[in-house]
């Protein structure tokens, strides 16, 4: 009987589908290291494809060091291609999640959580929150018994399209907005819809750690693009676009996580033009444009886009209401149709109650006034962190917004030891390696000043610096 390959694969090249089929099974451990794989003849008959198609798939596996050839007797599994048994044991995990580095750190319970780039819940206007919840139940008495549409509540999408048109002159209708449960879901949906194995994806270096895990899981070939306080090197990006035809560039250009850098306005327009010229989508992840300490950042890339090459992800969960977990994706209709289908497979729509509460809370006068207070509170916390670290000799660029300090420790630091001992003392931070697509940046760390109150910040930092001196004497 004919075996189905990947019925929903995005590739129309048959040999790539055979390649994906074989690789997935090798990774899952269905064949072990040094096992002999089915012959070209057998697979060609099973799949009802030409032998050359299977031969090409094996050649590619060989080039990518997944299989080797022995004595002309056939193909064998190269050791190292099989996922570790710990991952394989659970067939659901092995078929889906490969790694999720940041969530592992977040699961550690600690008093001094410098790893959490989230808002201290005490900084939100919690006392007034019940008013909005009550208002929602009064206005929509059936809200608890109603599903949202998959794309998201029309009233909320209408309000957001007006907001972005007024604020940044976005050319955006409500049909070009998808509501998601946080921007993490948005990144995941975009990766599923747009990226197939071996597609080239550009990622900033460093970047938001879970994005590396998501695009890796998709089987993408990742090319790192350095981000510096001055933005990107556009010549490097153009060369990569020309030579490697990337599918997309995932970026976080405003108060970048983890560095805090912002890509200047001049580069934004030029990069949008390059994207259109080389047919590379720009996925702009924008979780905290309102958290600035001096002047507001430049308009998002989406505002410069006239050709539909920018997909804009805007989270509202980071500093407005983490508990509601609301984000949106803005993009043109073609991609939107695919995203809606993917979202319907994921959860059929973000909870309507969350969307309605968010709508009334976000657009209220109180929330908008609250933003000013929030900026001041976070600027004070950033200053405290910088003051506490000022005597250490460690290096960082003072961020103009966002939640994090990206810190360079002395090269001699042993990161595993520092992280392990810190956790023993109830202190967490994010090691730079997990933010690096190349898994280097061994002496960098991300510390967030947004989650702890002023007293905890000072106390935790003092403990951390003294632990560091104890361990490394610097
Ligand atoms: C750049 C970036 N993208 C996405 C997210 C996830 O945000 P959400 O809570 O909306 O899923 C974060 C959160 O830290 C982030 O910093």
Q: How confident is the model at residue 83 (pLDDT cuts 50, 70, 90)?
A: low
Kindly tell me the burial class for residue 63, based on how many C-beta atoms sit within 10 Å of its own C-beta (0-12, 13-18, 19 or more).
exposed
For residue 6, pLDDT over 60 is answered with no
CA distances from 57 to 33, 37, 45, 247, 375 (A): 18, 12, 15, 22, 54
Percent of the chain with pLDDT over 70: 93
Tell me if 428 CB under 6 Å of ligand 1: no
CA of 283 to the centre of ligand 1 (A): 13
Q: What pLDDT does residue 85 have? A: 52
CA of 313 to the centre of ligand 1 (A): 10
Residue 306 is classified by DSSP as: S
For residue 95, pLDDT over 50 is answered with no
Distance CA(425)–CA(310), nearest Å, equals 44
Residue 361 · residue 216 · CB < 8 Å? no
Q: Find the helix packing angle between 40-47 and 51-63, rounded to 10°.
A: 120
**Domain 101-121+368-472 part of CATH 3.90.1150.10:** yes
Q: pLDDT: is 108 or 136 the higher one?
A: 136
Question: What count of residues does the chain have?
Answer: 474
Tell me if 184 CB under 6 Å of ligand 1: yes
Distance CA(148)–CA(170), nearest Å, equals 25
Q: How confident is the model at residue 9 (pLDDT cuts 50, 70, 90)?
A: very low
The CATH class of the 125-365 domain is alpha beta
Q: What pLDDT does residue 287 have? A: 96
| Residue 208 in tokens | 């938001």
- For the CA of 187, the nearest atom of ligand 1: 4
Lowest mean pLDDT segment, chosen from 120-124, 287-291, 391-395: 120-124
CA of 321 to the centre of ligand 1 (A): 13
Tell me if 300 CB under 6 Å of ligand 1: no
- In 3D space, the residue among 206, 204, 190, 201 whose CA is nearest the CA of residue 343 turns out to be 190
- In 3D space, the residue among 191, 204, 182 whose CA is nearest the CA of residue 255 turns out to be 204
The per-residue pLDDT for range 180-239, each reduced to its tens digit, is 999 999 999 999 999 988 889 999 999 999 999 999 989 888 999 999 999 999 999 999
For residue 98, pLDDT over 70 is answered with no
- In 3D space, the residue among 367, 465, 439 whose CA is nearest the CA of residue 124 turns out to be 367
Tell me if 115 CB under 6 Å of ligand 1: no
Tell me if 117 CB under 6 Å of ligand 1: yes
Q: pLDDT: is 470 or 49 the higher one?
A: 470
Positions of CATH 3.90.1150.10 in the chain: 101-121+368-472
CA of 120 to the centre of ligand 1 (A): 15
Q: What pLDDT does residue 174 have? A: 98
The per-residue pLDDT for range 333-358, each reduced to its tens digit, is 999 999 999 999 999 899 999 999 99
Residue 170 is classified by DSSP as: -
Distance CA(434)–CA(205), nearest Å, equals 11
Tell me if 324 CB under 6 Å of ligand 1: no
Just give the CATH number of 14-83: 1.10.10.10
For residue 80, pLDDT over 90 is answered with no
For residue 450, pLDDT over 50 is answered with yes
Q: Is the dihedral of CA 318, 321, 326, 332 positive or negative?
A: negative
Q: What pLDDT does residue 8 have? A: 35
Distance CA(325)–CA(155), nearest Å, equals 18
CA distances from 145 to 6, 132, 142, 374, 424 (A): 38, 18, 5, 35, 46
Tell me if 350 CB under 6 Å of ligand 1: no
Distance CA(264)–CA(298), nearest Å, equals 7
Q: What pLDDT does residue 320 have? A: 87
CA gyration radius for the chain?
A: 24
For residue 368, pLDDT over 60 is answered with yes
Distance CA(248)–CA(299), nearest Å, equals 20
Positions of CATH 1.10.10.10 in the chain: 14-83
Positions of CATH 3.40.640.10 in the chain: 125-365
């Amino acid at each position: 009987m004919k075996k189905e390959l990947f019925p929903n694969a995005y590739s129309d090249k048959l040999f790539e589908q055979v390649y994906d089929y074989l690789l997935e099974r090798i990774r899952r451990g269905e064949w072990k290291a040094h096992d002999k794989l089915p012959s070209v003849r057998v697979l060609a008959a099973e799949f009802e494809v030409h032998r050359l198609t299977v031969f090409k798939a094996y050649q590619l596996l060989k080039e990518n060091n997944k299989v080797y050839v022995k004595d002309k007797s056939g193909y064998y599994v190269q050791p190292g291609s099989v996922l570790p048994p710990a991952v394989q044991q659970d067939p659901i995990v092995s078929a889906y999640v490969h790694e999720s580095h940041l969530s592992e750190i977040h699961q550690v319970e600690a008093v001094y959580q410098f790893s959490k780039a989230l808002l201290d819940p005490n900084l939100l206007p919690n006392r007034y929150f019940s008013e909005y919840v009550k208002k929602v139940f009064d206005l929509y008495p059936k809200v608890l018994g109603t599903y949202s549409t998959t794309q998201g509540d029309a009233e909320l999408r209408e309000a957001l399209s007006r907001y972005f048109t007024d604020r940044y002159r976005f050319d955006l209708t409500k049909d070009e907005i998808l509501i998601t449960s946080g921007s993490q879901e948005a990144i995941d949906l975009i990766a599923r819809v747009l990226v197939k194995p071996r597609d080239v994806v550009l990622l900033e270096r460093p970047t938001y750690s879970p994005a590396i895990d998501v695009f890796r899981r998709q089987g993408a070939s990742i090319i790192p693009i350095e981000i510096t306080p001055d933005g990107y090197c556009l010549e490097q990006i153009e060369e990569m676009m020309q030579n490697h035809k990337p599918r997309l560039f995932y970026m976080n250009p405003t108060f970048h996580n983890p560095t805090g850098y912002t890509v200047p306005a001049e580069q934004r327009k030029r990069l949008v033009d390059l994207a259109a010229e080389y047919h590379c989508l720009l996925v702009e992840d924008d979780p905290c444009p309102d958290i600035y300490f001096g002047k507001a950042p430049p308009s998002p890339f989406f505002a410069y886009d006239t050709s539909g090459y920018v997909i804009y992800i805007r989270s509202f969960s980071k500093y407005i209401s983490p508990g509601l977990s609301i984000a949106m994706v803005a993009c043109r209709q073609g991609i939107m149709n695919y995203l809606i289908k993917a979202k319907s497979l994921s959860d059929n729509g973000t909870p309507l109650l969350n969307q309605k509460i968010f709508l009334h809370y976000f657009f209220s006068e109180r929330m908008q006034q609250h933003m000013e207070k929030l900026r001041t509170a976070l600027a004070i916390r950033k200053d405290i962190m910088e003051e506490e670290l000022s005597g250490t000799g460690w290096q960082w660029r003072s961020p103009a917004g966002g939640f994090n300090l990206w810190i360079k420790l002395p090269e001699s630091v042993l990161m595993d030891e520092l992280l392990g001992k810190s956790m023993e003392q109830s202190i967490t931070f994010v090691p730079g390696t997990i933010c690096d697509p190349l898994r280097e940046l061994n002496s960098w760390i991300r510390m967030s000043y947004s989650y702890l109150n002023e007293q905890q910040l000072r106390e935790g930092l003092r403990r951390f610096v003294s632990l560091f001196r104890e361990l490394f004497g610097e």
